[in-house]
């Protein structure tokens, strides 16, 4: 009897520990736990009020908060997900489809294989065909205008996992009423002579000749095999312009010890244990760039989806190209060293940006083509092929027919509608496009100035004197060319004075670094203005030197013709 009582007490104690352990972790211990993968929304703790209690709102909010913040939530969820996966091969992750033998797929890719993805974006196959035909026409028109201005436009189609490894897909019924958007676009591109490189066909041929998966078993994207695709793309680009781009040299393959990109879909499952990999290893190799006296480093813009990261993460892009930008889904522009800086594409001067590059690579995958060109073709034609005044007039006309609370909202909606229906403008509802935006020559002059390093250096010096951005200086210089005024670059006294002032800024910064009280104030400014200490220090030094010579009154935005108050004697004396 005593044995049984002790046994019962032990079981009861274990049960109590299990019941109260989450509460103890939440309230007392705060043990750091590995966060769940994926997007999570923070749930704020609701504030109690008599009104919210009576209406029942407090109870709902409190329930949501407790559900998102109970103790040991992460390991409990992982344990439950593991149970669902091991017992039923089931997952609640919306962005993951479980295939056979532990293979995982992106749902859009699976839908595309079975023919159902098209109807998520198009009202009918007939409407899709009309839309795709317009997209191809606009892409060809865009290429014609860009090529007239020294820019080569081409398309690149990355491989799609469902078509590369269909043998592991879950069994579904094909929709025979639709057609494959990727195959349709490729046929139309080939028919019209639009340059396009398709990785699907090549990777399908390659997959049986290698001992590793070209797209990982539990990942959605390619990893190292993206290097082979990049090498083919760069050669293709060189052939289009008849130039030699730097070449990629790929070292000896070996197994990678970094599997983060190999299992991006698996991470979304939030399992306790990793899925067993049954199909080869994850390869990697050293990738270097070779070039000789004939090699040319052009400027290139990539516009497309997340498959592009597979290339930028594996290939030293800055050694192949003079400048690289990536417009992710034609929404966010990544630029700068390592593509570490971002800006919304909508905030850019589209004409100047498009004409600034030597190549534009429209980068996509098959399932994305169900949506068309993400409005890239339409906005390019509206920008390069139509006068700004005409485009604005049509936007205004459409906006006046809309019932929205503000004029800004009406104009925004009107432009969105025009993007979806450029054919509403008669010039764009024809078999050929003969019109051009008259501002194109203006943008080309800016491009030519950017190629002149001496000219750009002079404008940079003038930007310091006139409190202007480089973009503002470029536009002001082109305006002076059009108006026949003396150019900013041809003012040697001002340029030399600017260089002297900038030297004084550097010297003053060194002195300020040695003053403890000064640096304390600079640090406070840096924190207040969300800047680095170095940026805040330079701001203060610039202000002092500009104040010293009266340059604080020379603002280009106020008066482009403002005279610089040059000192009568050498500033050093």
* Predicted confidence (pLDDT) at residue 344 exceeds the cutoff of 50: yes
Reduced to 3 states, what is the DSSP secondary structure of residue 232? Answer: helix
Separation in Å, CA 361 to CA 151, 300, 399, 532: 10, 7, 33, 35
- Please report, rounded to a whole number, the percentage of residues in the chain having pLDDT higher than 70: 90
Q: What is the pLDDT of residues 469-512, one digit of tens each?
A: 999 999 999 999 999 999 999 999 999 999 999 999 999 999 99
Counting Cα atoms < 13 Å in the Cβ hemisphere of 310 gives 28
* Predicted confidence (pLDDT) at residue 365 exceeds the cutoff of 80: yes
**Which pLDDT score is estimated for 573?**
46
Whole-prediction pTM value? Answer: 0.86
Is 242 exposed, middle or buried, given 0-12, 13-18 or 19+ CB atoms closer than 10 A?
A: exposed
> Stretch 197-209: mean pLDDT, rounded?
94
* Predicted confidence (pLDDT) at residue 466 exceeds the cutoff of 50: yes
* CA angle, residues 102, 106, 109, in degrees to nearest 5: 115
Separation in Å, CA 479 to CA 15, 67, 476, 555: 80, 61, 5, 16
What is the pLDDT confidence band of residue 19, given thresholds at 50, 70 and 90?
Answer: low
Q: What is the pLDDT of residues 389-415, one digit of tens each?
A: 999 999 999 999 999 999 999 999 999
* Predicted confidence (pLDDT) at residue 569 exceeds the cutoff of 80: no
**Which pLDDT score is estimated for 1?**
46
> Stretch 242-246: mean pLDDT, rounded?
95
Q: What is the pLDDT of residues 156-171, one digit of tens each?
A: 999 999 999 999 999 9
Which residues, including other chains, have CB under 8 Å from residue 309's CB and lie 6 or more apart? 221
Q: What is the pLDDT of residues 130-189, one digit of tens each?
A: 999 999 999 999 999 999 999 999 999 999 999 999 999 999 999 999 999 999 999 999
């Amino acid at each position: 009897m005593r044995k049984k009582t002790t046994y019962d007490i032990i079981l009861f104690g274990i049960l109590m520990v299990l019941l109260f352990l989450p509460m103890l972790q939440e309230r007392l211990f705060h043990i750091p736990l590995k966060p769940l993968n994926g997007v999570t929304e923070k749930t704020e703790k609701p504030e109690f009020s008599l009104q919210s209690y009576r209406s029942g709102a407090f109870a709902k909010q409190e329930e949501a908060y407790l559900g998102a913040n109970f103790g040991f939530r992460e390991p409990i969820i992982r344990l439950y997900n593991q149970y669902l996966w091991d017992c039923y091969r089931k997952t609640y992750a919306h962005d993951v489809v479980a295939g056979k033998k532990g293979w995982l797929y992106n749902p859009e890719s699976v839908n595309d294989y079975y023919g159902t993805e098209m109807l998520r974006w198009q009202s009918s196959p007939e409407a899709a065909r009309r839309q795709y035909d317009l997209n191809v026409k606009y892409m060809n028109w865009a290429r014609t205008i860009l090529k007239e201005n020294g820019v080569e436009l081409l398309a690149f189609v990355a491989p799609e996992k469902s078509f590369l490894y269909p043998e592991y897909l879950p069994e579904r019924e094909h929709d025979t009423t639709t057609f494959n958007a990727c195959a349709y676009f490729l046929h139309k591109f080939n028919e019209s002579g639009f340059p396009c490189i398709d990785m699907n066909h090549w990777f399908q041929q390659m997959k049986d000749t290698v001992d590793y998966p070209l797209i990982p078993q539990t990942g959605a994207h390619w990893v190292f095999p993206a290097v082979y695709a990049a090498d083919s793309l760069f050669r293709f680009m060189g052939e289009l312009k008849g130039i030699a781009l730097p070449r990629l040299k790929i070292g000896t393959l070996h197994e990678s010890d970094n599997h983060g990109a190999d299992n991006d879909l698996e991470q979304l499952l939030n399992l306790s244990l990793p899925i067993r990999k049954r199909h080869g290893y994850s390869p990697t190799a050293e990738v270097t760039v070779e070039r000789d006296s004939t090699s040319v480093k052009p400027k290139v813009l990539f516009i497309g989806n997340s498959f592009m990261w597979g290339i930028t993460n594996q290939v030293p892009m800055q050694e192949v190209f003079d400048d690289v930008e990536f417009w992710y889904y034609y929404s966010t522009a990544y630029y700068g060293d390592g593509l570490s800086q971002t800006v919304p594409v909508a905030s850019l001067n589209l004409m100047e940006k498009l004409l600034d590059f030597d190549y534009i690579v429209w980068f996509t995958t098959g399932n994305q083509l169900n949506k068309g060109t993400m409005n890239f073709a339409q906005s390019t034609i509206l920008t390069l092929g139509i006068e700004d005044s005409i485009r604005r007039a049509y936007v205004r006309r459409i906006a006046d027919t809309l019932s929205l609370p503000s004029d800004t909202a009406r104009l925004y909606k009107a432009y969105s509608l025009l993007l979806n229906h450029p054919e509403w403008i008669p010039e764009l509802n024809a078999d050929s496009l003969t019109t051009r935006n008259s501002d194109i020559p203006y943008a080309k002059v800016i491009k030519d100035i950017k190629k002149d390093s001496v000219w750009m250096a002079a404008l940079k010096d003038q930007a310091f004197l006139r409190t202007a951005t480089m973009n503002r200086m470029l536009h002001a210089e082109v305006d002076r060319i059009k108006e026949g005024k003396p150019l900013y670059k041809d003012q040697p006294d001002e340029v030399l004075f600017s260089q002297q002032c900038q030297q004084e800024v550097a010297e003053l910064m060194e002195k300020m670094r040695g003053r403890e009280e000064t640096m304390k104030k600079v640090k406070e400014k840096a924190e207040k203005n969300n800047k680095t200490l170095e940026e805040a220090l330079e701001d203060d030094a610039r202000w002092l030197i500009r104040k010293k010579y009266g340059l604080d009154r020379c603002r280009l935005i106020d008066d482009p013709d403002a005279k610089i108050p040059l000192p009568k004697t050498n500033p050093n004396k």
